């Protein structure tokens, strides 16, 4: 099945919209002609929604999934092209992320992981290109360069952040941590300006922008400290948790397991291609109206709508003031993620930074396709102002500029998250002051409406693990409130 989402380019076909994915659901709806009230309506089929509906249906509740897209996965989905999975959004996982590892174990996929990096053959080097020139380093030198810079960057307490954030799942356990939410990473860089070499500065800034895909001025220093703490306060941990282990079959091979289990209970109804217009809570029930005018009612509604999209749906009563303030501010991540399939096999062991002059700044060799080509995954962001589908030649040039003479492009694959109306950006990354003012407000229910999204998880916020954490939390609430004795079905 082919999704409307995503783009691919080859010299033979040119640019084409829509890419194949096993996350596309057919038929797009299993609704009966007459729909009875539901126990729970779940808005959104990303990992938060999939976890919530899976847990609720298994508990015997009658659940309706309403999804705007033609597929599941939300901001984490893969496209299988030529027998190879290209990850369009969230990709990497780790057994140290508790919620996702529970689900990987549940679906017996522990042996379905593989490493992105393979330094066993080929060029086996790191290529740093800056305004001051080019450096070729070993990967050990690459690690030493970035580790040294990162350790100085996060060491605000003399203990690599451990004192200021001793519990990674409690951002504000230490009251003094709040002061760092008033700082951007640019503010912190200014404090270190005399202690960083040009190469350290370029590699550090590139890594920070890879994490936030905002700008240095709009990236919260506190949120980066939170990521650092989650990764065990080490650079090695950042590599392991953030960018090393992925599913052999792609994220959609994992997401489909949640959907299939829920469907097998007989308690799941679903409607894809159904963007939401309004959500109304009269105190007794919640009524959802789609853009096409169709109405559904439920005892509870779980909204997994991302932060940057919340203000595009009308809520009645209106959302509380602080939640709306946060939604209007939004998060900063406008990631540009471009997959390049290149014919140079030696680039499998290559990593590179091309900053600040290139529109794609950070890239790694990420796999080998069945055709024997090298898969390179490249990242840029809002700070570089690139819209890949609007100018494919510019996108090709940005890929080639990462390693001139070595990027012989056979295929490009990507999804434009900035122009995706149901995401308006990629994974969550906070601007300064948003966490301290709004995190708790975003996590609070409003009447019969619960809000579950990785954007406001307390643990791996912005990660797949955080999405599952949030879906679990919401499902537990509705199960406790609507158990078998209180469900719609028990009164029919």
Q: Which residue from 311, 333, 252, 336 is spatially nearest to 442, judged by alpha carbons?
A: 311
C-alpha to C-alpha distances, 20 to 27, 297, 419, nearest whole angstrom: 15, 33, 20
Q: Is 487 marked as binding a ligand?
A: no
CB atoms within 10 A of CB 179: 13
Q: Is 247 marked as binding a ligand?
A: no
Query: What are the residues facing 232 on neighbouring strands?
Result: none
Rounded to an integer, what distance in angstroms lies between the CA atom of residue 383 and that of residue 365? Answer: 23
Q: Is 68 marked as binding a ligand?
A: yes
The answer to whether 328 touches 309, Cβ cutoff 8 Å, is no
Rounded to an integer, what distance in angstroms lies between the CA atom of residue 223 and that of residue 211? Answer: 10
Q: Is 48 marked as binding a ligand?
A: yes
Rounded to an integer, what distance in angstroms lies between the CA atom of residue 257 and that of residue 468? Answer: 13
Q: Is 421 marked as binding a ligand?
A: no
The answer to whether 378 touches 310, Cβ cutoff 8 Å, is no
As a three-state string, the secondary structure of the chain is CEEEEEEEEECCCEEEEEEECCCECCCCECCCCCCCCEEEEEECCCHHHHHHHHHHHHCCCCEEEECCCCECCCCCCEEEECCEEEECCCCCCCCCCHHHHHHHHHCCCHHHEEECCCCCCCCCCEEEEECCEEEEECHHHHHHHHHHHHHHHHCCCCCCCCCCCCCCCCCCCCHHHHHHHHCEHHHHHHHCHHHCCHHHHHHHHHHHHHHHCCCCCCCEHHHHHHHHHHCCCCHHHHHHHHHCEEECCCHHHHHHHHHHHHHHCCCEEEECCCCEEEEEECCCCEEEEECCCCEEEEEEEEECCCHHHHHHCEEECCCCHHHHHHHHHCCCCCCEEEEEEECCHHHHHCEEEECCCCCCCEEEEEEECCCCCEEEEEEECHHHCCCCCCCHHHHHHHHHHHCCCCCCEEEEEECCCCCCCCCCCCCCCCCCCHHHHHHHHHHCCECCEEECCHHHCCCCCCCHHHHHHHHHHHHHHHHHHCCCCCCCHHHC
C-alpha to C-alpha distances, 199 to 130, 185, 311, nearest whole angstrom: 8, 17, 41
Q: Which parts are annotated binding residues for substrate?
A: 379
Q: Which parts are annotated binding residues?
A: 48, 67-68, 276, 379
Q: Which parts are annotated binding residues for FAD?
A: 48, 67-68, 276
């Amino acid at each position: 099945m082919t999704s409307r989402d995503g783009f691919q380019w080859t010299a033979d076909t040119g640019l084409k919209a829509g890419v194949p994915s096993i996350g596309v659901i057919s038929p797009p709806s299993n609704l009966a002609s007459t729909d009875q009230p539901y126990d729970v309506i779940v808005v959104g089929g990303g990992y938060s929604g999939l976890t919530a509906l899976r847990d609720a249906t298994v508990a015997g509740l009658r659940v309706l999934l309403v999804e705007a897209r033609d597929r599941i996965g939300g901001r984490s989905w893969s496209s299988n092209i030529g027998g190879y999975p290209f990850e369009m959004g969230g990709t990497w996982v780790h057994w140290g992320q508790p919620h996702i590892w529970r689900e990987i174990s549940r679906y017996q996929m522990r042996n379905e992981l593989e490493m992105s990096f393979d330094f066993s053959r080929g060029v086996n080097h790191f290529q740093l290109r800056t305004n001051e020139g080019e450096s070729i380093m070993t990967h050990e030198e690459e690690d030493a360069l970035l580790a040294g810079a990162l350790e100085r960057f996060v060491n605000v307490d003399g203990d690599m952040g451990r004192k200021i954030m001793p519990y990674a799942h409690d951002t504000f356990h230490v009251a003094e941590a709040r002061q760092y939410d008033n700082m951007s990473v640019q503010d912190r860089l200014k404090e270190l300006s005399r202690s960083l070499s040009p190469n350290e500065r370029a590699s550090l800034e590139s890594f920070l922008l890879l994490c936030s895909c905002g700008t240095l001025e709009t990236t919260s220093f506190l949120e980066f400290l939170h990521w650092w703490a989650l990764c065990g306060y080490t650079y090695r941990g950042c590599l392991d948790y953030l960018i090393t282990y992925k599913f052999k079959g792609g994220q959609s091979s994992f997401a489909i397991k949640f959907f299939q289990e829920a469907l097998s209970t007989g308690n799941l109804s679903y409607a894809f291609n159904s963007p939401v217009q309004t959500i109304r809570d009269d105190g007794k029930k919640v009524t959802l109206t789609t853009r096409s005018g169709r109405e559904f009612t439920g005892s509870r509604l779980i909204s997994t709508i991302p932060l940057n999209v919340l203000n595009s749906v009308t809520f009645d009563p209106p959302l509380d003031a602080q939640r709306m303030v946060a939604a209007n501010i939004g998060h900063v991540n406008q990631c540009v993620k471009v997959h390049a399939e290149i014919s140079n096999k030696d680039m499998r062991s290559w990593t590179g930074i091309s900053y600040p002059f290139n529109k794609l700044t950070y890239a790694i060799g990420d796999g080998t396709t069945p055709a024997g080509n090298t898969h390179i995954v490249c990242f840029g962001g809002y700070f570089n102002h690139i819209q890949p589908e609007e100018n494919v030649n510019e996108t090709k040039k940005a890929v080639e500029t990462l390693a001139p003479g070595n990027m012989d492009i056979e295929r490009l694959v990507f999804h434009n998250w900035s122009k995706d109306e149901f995401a308006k950006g990629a994974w969550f990354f906070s601007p300064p002051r948003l966490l301290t003012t709004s995190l708790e407000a975003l996590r609070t229910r409003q009447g019969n409406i619960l809000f579950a999204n990785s954007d406001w998880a307390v643990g791996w916020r912005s990660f797949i693990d955080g999405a599952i954490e949030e879906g679990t939390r919401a499902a537990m609430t509705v199960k406790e409130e609507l158990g078998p004795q209180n469900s719609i079905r028990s009164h029919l």
